[in-house]
């Protein structure tokens, strides 16, 4: 553990590590929700949706990587067991039981909105006390905003296409 790096953090480090572990659990659940969604999705514009879901899965995994690395830098232990994910998650997990494109897009949009809300709060909490974590969270948040936008644009295209057919 880098002692100097940890010593410049001007907030409760254990609390911060808990907040980051919550986010880490969310990211793994989001990763799987996208990954399995891309496998099972059915309906119009399926190919475009699959590409986006797979890309987002990869990006959620990279968020997990950033968070775990920061937790270790802070002297913490990243969640060690998948059982923990569902216990401490903030945004939860929405199984794609209904595999229709629109339903899967809606579920993931909801997940992104929850993530945006959580990371936005985390920015407020770290702005003064831990600029290094703040910077990492800002990077992640920017990508979640992009995710919400991408999924919403796909949904719009889907709606337009279905409307034209009527």
Binding part of the chain for Fe ion, among 1-9, 10-18, 62-70, 78-86 by CB under 5 A, reads 62-70
The nearest distance, CB 121 to Fe ion, in angstroms, is 15
CB of 57 within 8 A of CB of 38? yes
Nearer to Mg ion among residue 50 and residue 132 (C-beta): 50
Binding part of the chain for Fe ion, among 16-24, 41-49, 54-62, 156-164 by CB under 5 A, reads 54-62
From residue 42, alpha-carbon distances to 46, 88, 108 in Å are 6, 31, 15
Distance CA 120, CA 136 (A): 12
Question: Is residue 60 a contact residue for Fe ion (CB under 5 A)?
Answer: yes
Residues in the chain: 166
Binding part of the chain for Fe ion, among 19-27, 99-107, 125-133, 151-159 by CB under 5 A, reads 19-27
Largest CA-CA distance found in the chain, in angstroms, rounded: 65
Total number of residues that touch Fe ion (CB under 5 A): 5
From residue 71, alpha-carbon distances to 76, 77, 78, 156, 161 in Å are 5, 6, 6, 38, 45
Q: Collapsing DSSP states into helix, strand and coil, what is residue 47?
A: helix
Draw the binding track, 114-153, toward Mg ion (x: CB under 5 A; -: no contact).
------------------------------------x---
What's the alpha-carbon Rg for the chain, to the nearest Å?
Answer: 17
CB of 111 within 8 A of CB of 65? no
- One residue of 16, 33, 45, 63 binding Fe ion per CB under 5 A: 63
The nearest distance, CB 146 to Mg ion, in angstroms, is 6
Residues that bind Mg ion in the complex, under the rule CB under 5 A: 150
Residues that bind Fe ion in the complex, under the rule CB under 5 A: 27, 60, 63, 144, 147
């Amino acid at each position: 553990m880098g002692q100097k790096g940890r010593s410049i953090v001007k907030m409760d480090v254990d609390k911060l590590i808990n907040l980051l572990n919550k986010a880490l659990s969310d990211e793994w659940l989001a990763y799987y929700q996208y990954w399995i969604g891309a496998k099972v999705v059915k309906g119009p514009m399926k190919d475009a949706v699959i590409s986006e879901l797979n890309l987002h899965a990869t990006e959620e995994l990279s968020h997990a990587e950033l968070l775990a690395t920061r937790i270790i830098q802070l002297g913490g232990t990243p969640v060690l067991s998948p059982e923990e994910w569902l216990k401490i998650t903030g945004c939860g997990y929405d199984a794609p039981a209904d595999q229709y494109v629109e339903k899967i897009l809606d579920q993931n949009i909801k997940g992104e909105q929850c993530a945006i809300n959580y990371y936005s709060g985390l920015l407020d909490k770290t702005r003064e006390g831990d600029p290094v974590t703040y910077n990492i969270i800002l990077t992640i948040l920017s990508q979640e905003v992009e995710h919400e936008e991408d999924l919403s644009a796909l949904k719009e295209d889907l709606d337009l296409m279905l409307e034209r057919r009527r």
